[in-house]
Structure 1
Amino acid sequence: MIITRTPFRIPLGGGGTDLPAYYSRYGGFILAAAINKYMYISVNRPIVDNLVRVKYSLSETVSHRDELKHDIAREALRMMDIEDSIEIVSMADVPAGTGLGSSSCYAVGLLHALHSLKRNYVSLHELAEEACELEINRLGKPIGKQDQYMAVFGGIRAMTIDREGKVTIHMVPIDNATMDELNRNLLLFFTGITRPAENILKSQSSHIEQEKKDVLDNLHYIKELGYQAFEAIKTGNLTELGLIFDRHWNYKKRLHPEISSPYFDHIYEEAKKNGALGGKIIGAGGGGFFLFYIEEKHAKLRQAMSQLGLREMRYHFDWEGTKILVNLFNGLR
């Protein structure tokens, strides 16, 4: 048996500029942090038969990988040239559809486990690019590249993406005091609403391809805010980071009508009334988690969000990225 652990992530700046439709024209920039909430994948070779078993929110048992309904598992097995005789089980700290990058965590964690099973060495960049190839090119998911890279590398990272799709990723220089303050002041609250991101992301990509000026202007400004957020963290000016979040949210809402709603706008305004300098919905929007930056009166904000029915998810940053927790595979069936 092999078990991998892969972190979820929270975006801090530049979201949307990692979509192929955007970076292939203008280049992208992403700022994000991995957190200690994880996707766990276990892989095993069955002893008594040659069946394929995949357990997630459903359970599948089939004779051949091509019969699987779980698209990521099916495509990962194709990429690794495994047709049968495999068991895959997944568990996660956070459900799908919450904007924390769960599908990419699954892809990265499974590919990592399968490479270990086959005793293949791949670099971190290769693993991230394989996950991008699986989700974006093979499955045609309308997503960007930040989720896969953050799942692989962990940490607080800045990513630049050139027009050919090449990703350069590096750790944001941050001292321990700033890191502790950032962790203390960034609060996550679950709205209780899960949703697929595909419709919003497909619409954004289509508008980029059509060169709609308002969408492009908003994304250009969001990328600029990403650079500003990077400088704010690097220099320890976290008050400015909170104010950047506020500007970012007002521009992000303009990208698609389903990103926010009167209910979400009310949550945001109540958060600001209770001390938040700024915030955002994590991921494409429409549900999932709100992330707020607050420097004082944390308890007041927590109480206000609780009264609105939101549940806080406490966390710390993850610095390891995807890793093998258990490897008991001896090469024999």
Structure 2
Amino acid sequence: MMTVSRTPLRVSFFGGGTDYPEYFARARGAVLGMAIDQYVYVAALRLTNILDYRYRISYSKMEQVRELDAIEHPVVREAIRHYGYGSPLDISIMADLPARSGLGSSSSFTVGFVNLLFELLGRGATKMDLAREAVHVERGLLGENCGVQDQHHAAFGGLNRFDFEGNRTRISPIQMTAECQAALTSSLFLVYTGMTRFASATLDEQMAKTKSGASDKDLTHLLALVDQAQTVLEGTEPGALLREFGAMLHEGWETKKRLSSKVSSPQIDALYDKARAAGALGGKLCGAGAGGFLLMLVPPDLQAGFRLRMAEHSLIPVGLDTLGATILRG
């Protein structure tokens, strides 16, 4: 029988950069964002021992190997080793949107693959367990230069605030009215820049400035925006929410660009300016920077003109996922 995990991608609104242990080990970190209705799927089928290979892994390439050490996909190899799953597997990895595009796909995959292995092993896990195990795989086993918000958004789903203080993580679901939530989620668009990138490759300068304290002023401002955004989102007037939230996204983007010279580029800046001129109230580049998707907030009454002026670009409406990491049954 085939086992399938489904894990959402995410958009981060505010606080990115404060979710690195290198920062919140000495200061408070917090992020606010949401899981979206675009997903990473991992399917696994147990194999018999009569085949001439033990592992078959299908993603952007195909691997068919006899030994665990021969698997090139680092998360697959090290997670199987770490959790001690011993049976042969055929693994297929699929996603609604391209990898390396700033939507947390690497961490969504890791959460989903850990969830899948736990299901195969008959091992129970909470959403927090999945997030923490994925952080351990990425940072502990693989030494990845990554933050910890993506794993939590992927595991929990929903529209949440996460606070990080030392070894403690606190989740606070954003308390929105149905009318305000509908206004927000019907006003978000992803705009594809046409460029993909490895997040870890864009982070060297940012991490050096974080460790030295050179970015503390900007990170403190991004942290303050988390508090302000929560207040705005938990208001009661949809029109005011969109105006204020759009302005805050723009303010946060201008701050984020100061974290590293690699966050943006002239091409990305030009696309962002075009989207704002077409009707977006504000936005930001998703993820670490240097490529992927822009997230833009466009009120419903401006969307017809926005679509017309941005017709040559790929536009993807963003919806809210509420389930988080899930094993599909049916």
TM-score range, shorter chain: over 0.9
Is there any run of 5+ residues in structure 1 with no aligned partner, and where?
328-333
Alignment of 1:88-127 (within 5 A): 88-127=91-130
- The structure 1 residue matched to 2:203, chosen from 196, 201, 204, is 201
Q: Partner amino acid for 2:180? A: T
- State, as a whole percentage, how many aligned pairs show the same letter: 34
Query: 2:310, 2:291 → 1: CA distance?
Result: 15
For residues 31-180 of structure 1, the aligned pairs below 5 Å read 31-47=32-48, 48-49=50-51, 51-164=54-167, 166-180=168-182
Whether the aligned pair in 1 keeps the contact of 2:100 and 2:292 (CA below 8 Å) is yes
Query: In 2, Cα distance between the equivalents of 1:32 and 1:315?
Result: 12
- What SS does the aligned partner of 1:26 have? coil
Checking the alignment, whether the CA contact within 8 Å between 2:54 and 2:66 is kept in structure 1 is yes
8 Å CA contact 1:65–1:84 kept in 2: the answer is no
How far 1:200 moved relative to its partner? 2.3
The range that moved more, 48-57 or 259-268, is 48-57
Cα deviation, 1:109-148, whole Å, max 9, x if unaligned, reads 1111111111111111111100000001111111111111
Aligned with 1:247 (options 245, 251, 257):
251
Instruction: Report the 3-state secondary structure (helix = DSSP H, G, I; strand = E; otherwise coil) of the residue aligned with 2:196.
Output: coil
Partner deviation per Cα, 1:39-91 (whole Å, 9 max, x = no partner): 01011210233611111111111122122110010111012112451221111
Q: Distance in 2 between matches of 1:277 and 1:96?
A: 27
Amino acid at match of 2:306: L
Look up the equivalent residue of 2:189 and give its one-letter code: L
Q: Summarize deviations over 1:193-231 as a string: whole Å, max 9, x none.
A: 11111122232122111222xx22111111111211111
After the TM superposition, list the runs of 4 or more consecutive aligned residues in structure 1 that deviate by more than 4 angstroms: none
Higher mean displacement: 100-109 or 254-263: 254-263
Number of matched pairs: 322
Mapped partners of 1:255, 1:208: distance in 2: 8
Contact 1:52–1:84 at 8 Å: present in 2 too?
Answer: no
- Amino acid in structure 2 at the alignment position of 1:63: R
Which amino acid in 2 is paired with 1:303?
A: L
Q: How far apart are residue 315 of structure 1 and its match?
A: 3.1
Alignment pair present for 1:283 and 2:294: no
Query: Any conservation in 2 of the 1:64–1:84 contact (CA below 8 Å)?
Result: no
Contact 1:276 1:294 in 2 (8 A): yes
Report deviation, 1:298.
Answer: 1.1
Counterpart code for 1:233: L
In 2, Cα distance between equivalents of 1:32 and 1:264: 22
Q: In 2, Cα distance between the equivalents of 1:306 and 1:256?
A: 31
Task: List gaps (5 residues or longer) in structure 2.
Answer: none
Take 2:229 and 2:316, find their aligned partners in 1: how far apart are those partners?
23
1:304 corresponds to which of 271, 292, 309: 309
Instruction: Measure, in 2, the Cα distance between the counterparts of 1:82 and 1:66.
Output: 14
CA distance in 1, matches of 2:46, 2:82: 18
Worse overlay, 137-146 or 50-59: 50-59
Assess if the C-alpha contact under 8 Å between 2:85 and 2:117 holds in 1.
no
State the partner residue of 2:231.
Answer: 231
1:178 CA displacement: 0.7
TM-score (norm 1): 0.93
